[in-house]
């Protein structure tokens, strides 16, 4: 599944366009390298993204086949860490 679509389906971003823009701005990493929105994600992949004031590191446990309810989204990934980003004020 495409990276931007996966981030949106798992409710990790509010919209797919936010996920795409984050990829375009090199805020999303797949396997330690900056990822394009069209990158294919497989189970076992590690995704790091810097959004909403924090850096999130997740491991994909399985790929959903259709739409995912927000309450069920956490069964598709494991949160490895979440670090607050320093504010730029």
Q: Which domains does the chain possess? A: 3-84 (3.10.290.10)
- Write out the H or E segment, with its range, that includes residue 59: strand 54-60
Can you tell me the distance from the alpha carbon of 18 to that of 89, in angstroms, rounded to the nearest whole number?
A: 23
CA-wise closest residue to 35 among 15, 53, 58, 52: 58
Under 8 Å between Cβ of 37 and 75: no
* Assigned token pair, 69: 């309810």
* Assigned token pair, 42: 């497989």
pLDDT recorded at residue 87: 75
What pLDDT band is residue 60 in, cutting at 50, 70 and 90? very high
pTM of the model: 0.88
Mean pLDDT of the chain: 92
Q: Give the pLDDT mean for 17-32.
A: 94
> Residue 65 pLDDT more than 80?
yes
């Amino acid at each position: 599944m495409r990276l931007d679509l996966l981030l949106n389906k798992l409710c990790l971003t509010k919209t797919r366009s936010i996920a795409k823009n984050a990829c375009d701005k090199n805020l999303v990493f797949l396997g330690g390298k900056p990822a394009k929105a069209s990158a294919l994600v497989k189970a076992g992949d590690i995704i790091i993204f810097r959004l909403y004031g924090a850096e999130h590191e997740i491991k994909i446990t399985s790929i959903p086949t259709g739409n995912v309810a927000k309450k069920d989204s956490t069964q598709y990934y494991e949160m490895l860490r979440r670090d607050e980003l320093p504010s730029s004020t």
